[in-house]
Structure 1
Amino acid sequence: MTGDPQVASVSASPQHGFSKQTCDTIELVEGFGVAEDAHGGQTVQHLSRIRVDPTQPNLRQVHLIHAELFDDLEQKGFQIRPGDLGENILTRGIDLLGLPEGTLLTIGGAEIRITGLRNPCKQIEAFMPGLLAEMIERREDGSLFRKCGMMGVVEQCGRVAKGQAIAVTYPQKPHHPLEPV
């Protein structure tokens, strides 16, 4: 990645659905997620996870995707706009998928602790046929490389807006690679 890490766009939606509407700013609330977003809460808010166990802690309070993914997809004929894939924060200039679990992202006064990867699901294919195949890559060792962003929890409140710088603080070693949450 090149350039200084920054916020490319922010999005939220008060209703459960796949895509989110872009906003000027979003408010991150400690232990909750994005204010006025359907996926905010201390316990799981994703409908599929509620059906399994509604008391699970919400490790998916904030969804982040790197804008470089959208650039790559555009080269393959997919037109994806900010918010289309349900992300709250679209970043640029940071290798999100290469960060270890527990990394802290600071944006203004807000802090997000990375908990894991977003697992691509059939909703991506329903949104745009052929897109799911672009979100999962099988590596030579047979493992899957998931490309559709990461999830985090809010450690400190603050407002986030397009153009803000993102500071990265790595956790103590040993680092653990991100797994789906």
Structure 2
Amino acid sequence: MKAMVTAVSRSETHSFSKGSQEAIRLLAGLGVEGDAHLGVTVQHRSRVARDPSQPNLRQVHLIHEELYDELRAGGFAVQAGNLGENVTTRGVDLLGLPTGAVLHLGDQAVVEITGLRNPCLQLDGFQDGLLKAVLDRDERGEVVRKAGIMGIVLAGGDVRPGDPIRVELPAGPHRRLERV
């Protein structure tokens, strides 16, 4: 299957879900234009409360559409943007990417992957049981976070549904994604 963007979303407020858009503009070093999480330093409220000077490693949130397929099969009523992501993808194993992988979205935008989204209790506020549904355990018993990945914008540009995605893996030994 061809790797592609299936939806793009943003919200000017710190709301849980983000509204679908025809296109979003990524700004280098900042994030998604017009999104509440845009900025050089952290914008997520819980992180701002701890230390507002931290670098923003969560400028762009990406979720694989395959997760939505899985959740719908489990009885959840979800669609792109509902879990707060900016970019919904299909055909890319986002959770299997190493830290530092680079995603080329469309013709210009480039996002470097910084880590996993750590799902929170707000998921259950959206739909009861959703938090448990986006957590799993691997063969070693370690927690698997399935609620997407986070990244920083290396090169800006417009991103639209239907845009191709090209993955560039970092050189050297790969580091597993950890929560950011």
TM-score by length of 2: 0.98
Counterpart of 2:67 in 1: which secondary structure? helix
The aligned length equals: 179
Q: Give the match's secondary structure for 2:69.
A: helix
Q: One-letter code of the match for 1:94?
A: V
Equivalent residue runs for 1:27-176 within 5 Å: 27-107=25-105, 108-176=107-175
Shift of 1:173: 1.5
CA RMSD of aligned residues (A): 0.6
Moved over 6 A (4+): none
- CA deviations 1:116-139 (Å, max 9, x no partner) are 000010001111101111111122
Question: Counterparts of 1:160 and 1:139 in 2: how far apart (Å)?
Answer: 33
Gaps of 5+ in 1: none
1:20 aligns with 2:18: yes
**In 1: Cα distance, 2:33 partner to 2:138 partner:** 37
Distance 1:166 1:76 in 2: 28
State the partner residue of 1:7.
5
Q: Distance in 1 between matches of 2:104 and 2:69?
A: 24
1:79 positional shift: 1.4
One-letter amino acid of the structure 2 residue matched with residue 133 of structure 1: K
Query: C-alpha distance in 2, partners of 1:157/1:56?
Result: 22
Using the alignment, how far apart are the partners of 1:36 and 1:71 within structure 2? 28
Percent of aligned positions that are identical: 51
- Unaligned stretches of 5+ in structure 2? none
SS of the residue 1:43 aligns to: coil
Cα distance in structure 1, aligned partners of 2:156 and 2:148: 21
CA distance in 1, matches of 2:77, 2:133: 13
Distance 2:37 2:49 in 1: 15
| Residue identity in the other structure for 2:176 | P
**Greater CA deviation, 90-99 or 138-147?**
138-147
Structure 2 Cα separation of the partners of residues 65 and 35 of structure 1:
19
SS at match of 1:114: strand
TM-score by structure 1 length?
A: 0.98
Per-residue displacement from partner, 1:51-72 (whole Å, max 9, x unpaired)? 0000000000000000000001
